[in-house]
Structure 1
Amino acid sequence: MVQKMFRSGFLVRASHTLITWLTTLVLFLHNTDLRRCEERGELLLPVLFFLVVVLSVLLYFAVSLMDPGFVLTDTVKGSNEELESMIPQTSTPRLRRCGYCLLQQQPMRAKHCQTCKRCVRRFDHHCPWIENCVGERNHRWFIVYLLVQLLALLWALHIALSGISASLTWALWFRVNGVLLAALGVVGVFSVVVVLLLGCHLYLVSINCTTWEFMSRHRISYLKHCGDEENPFDRGVFCNLWDFFCVCRTVMWEQMYERNAPNSV
């Protein structure tokens, strides 16, 4: 029973929800800007902050429970002969047979996730905090979640700082502000993590590269023959961002690779 709960991600999601709402409760109950606005009857700021927190939680569960782009065995098998006849095999690496799924043949940029035990299209990474893969279908929503989460965290930092009060001694100061300081520490750590994650992902999206490809390009069959600065999927920053955020479809990466790959492959 316990192992099943861990595998399903229940504890991770419950922990995220608990930390979020406990921190929010601390900010509302202590003498912060939120509390002072409530006492004056100015409810706009508290309501907006509450809605941002709710939106971040909803996006978290959406990304966590969404299909990241699992490769369907029957779909790949049915289209495999068509793909191989359409793409010249002299210049493009052959479709790879997954050593774990056995019956599947991976589309280009897909990778098998040993945690999810499935192959994922345009695999980026498996995120332990959402207990799900980040791939073709949920990657853009993962970045939107990070943006909203960062807004909520930075706002929470400002609110927590507004509640820190002065005292005559250090001991009394820690006693009075202890809970707020703990909330401030949690929010601060998560803010740094989210800033780093968001910055890295926006950079990789702008060059049309995934975390897996960036970290392991020397071991990936369709990239290891390319130069360090060469990316056959890069169409320029504007086109990369437009395709990533605005185009919702399954991309035939083999065709783009065939058009842009170096002759040495």
Structure 2
Amino acid sequence: RRRSLPGSCCSVCLGYLSDLRRQEERGELLQPLLFVSLVLCSVLLHFRVSLMDPGFVQPEEEAKAGEGEGQSLVLPQVPGDIKLRRCGYCLVKQPLRAKHCQLCQHCVRRYDHHCPWIENCVGEKNHPLFMVYLSVQLVVLLWGTHVAWSGLYFEQSWEWLQHNIFLLMSFFLMVIFTIVVLLLLVSHLYLISCNTTTWEFMSSHRISYLRHSELENPFDQGIILNLWRFFCSRHLTAWEKIYFHRKSEPV
């Protein structure tokens, strides 16, 4: 097997290409094509989540116009006796669980966090696709780490270290990124199963609708219903209905 060239910009890819050449000689292209497809899918998901509307709260007249156009995501109807607070920054009526993002300059429905990786907020509309993106990223990183490891041939010599320094650095970087993505994916799955967000989990003592609630989590409807509502529901949720209904239940 040919060793990776020193000073290359992507030693992992070169290590993978050496395996690809061996498989090309055998006529085995399934795994290389699958890996390239996963990388391409990961890139496309990154741009999709980055450019997607995370659930920006629209002014009342824009929301009505959007409903008239027949959107696939129907804006929820809030009961008339429930008063929505008005955002002090963009002056729109802010639904429950929405938060104003200083970086995006918009209020976001079911605000989770602003992700610097995608340079966009993660909210009610793009959070499910964000989870798909993390899952694909994890598979690509695990596979890439395995490829990098298989390209290493350990020898106790300075010359070997000079020729493999970039491949070693790539391997350790991919291990770090794999751990980060894995922890991020597991933590998000846990929060989703509890029907809470990163912002609510970190700042529950400062959020009025959680601080004044008799229930620890007024939005938790059980793991199965929480997961179904998150991954399968195509409509925005009027969280005010769930909140006040749960508050009226006996504790």
Q: TM-score range by the shorter chain?
A: 0.7 to 0.9
Counterpart position of 1:3? none
- Asked whether 1:216 is paired with 2:203, we answer yes
Specify the alignment match of 1:98 in structure 2.
87
* SS of residue matched to 2:90: coil
Structure 1 residue 165: deviation in Å?
A: 1.1
**Identity, % of aligned pairs?**
55
* Alignment match of 1:158 (pick from 134, 146, 161): 146
Provide TM-score, normalisation by structure 2.
Answer: 0.84
Deviation (angstroms), 1:181:
1.0
Paired letter, 2:80: S
**Match for 2:221: what amino acid?**
R
Going by fraction, where is helix more abundant, 1 or 2?
Answer: 1
* CA pair 135-24 structure 1, distance change in 2 beyond 3 A: farther
Conserved? CA contact 1:76–1:105, under 8 Å: no
Moved more, 39-48 or 193-202: 39-48
Residues 193/183 of structure 1: CA separation in 2 closer, same or farther (3 Å cut): same
C-alpha distance in structure 1 between counterparts of 2:81 and 2:58, whole Å:
20
Aligned partner of residue 208 in structure 2, secondary structure = coil
Q: Aligned runs of 1:20-169 on 2, under 5 Å?
A: 22=10, 25-29=13-17, 31=18, 33-75=19-61, 83=78, 85-87=80-82, 94-102=83-91, 104-167=92-155, 169=156
| CA deviation after TM superposition for structure 1 residue 22, in Å | 4.2
Q: How many pairs were matched up?
A: 231
Paired letter, 2:145: L
8 Å Cα contact 1:109/1:123 also seen in 2: yes
- Distance change >3 Å, CA 49–CA 23, structure 1 → 2: farther
The residue that corresponds to 1:7 in the other structure is none
Distance 1:262 1:170 in 2: 72
Tell me if 1:251 matches 2:246.
no
Question: What is the CA deviation profile of residues 117-155 of structure 1, one whole-angstrom value per residue up to 9, with x for unaligned ones?
Answer: 000011000001100000010000000000010000001
Matched-pair contact (CA < 8 Å) for 1:34–1:159:
no
Secondary structure, counterpart of 1:173 in structure 2 = helix
- Alpha-carbon shift at residue 84 of structure 1 (Å): 5.8
1:40 Cα offset (Å): 3.2
In structure 2, relative to structure 1, the CA distance for the partners of 1:75 and 1:24 (3 Å cut) is farther
TM-score normalized with structure 1 length: 0.80
Distance 2:25 2:175 in 1: 27
Query: CA 1:106 to 1:137, structure 2 compared with 1: closer, same or farther past 3 Å?
Result: same
Distance 1:240 1:23 in 2: 43
Compute the displacement of 1:215 (Å): 0.6
Whichever residue aligns with residue 241 of structure 2, its letter is Q
Q: 5+ unaligned residues in a row in structure 1: which ranges? A: 1-20, 88-93
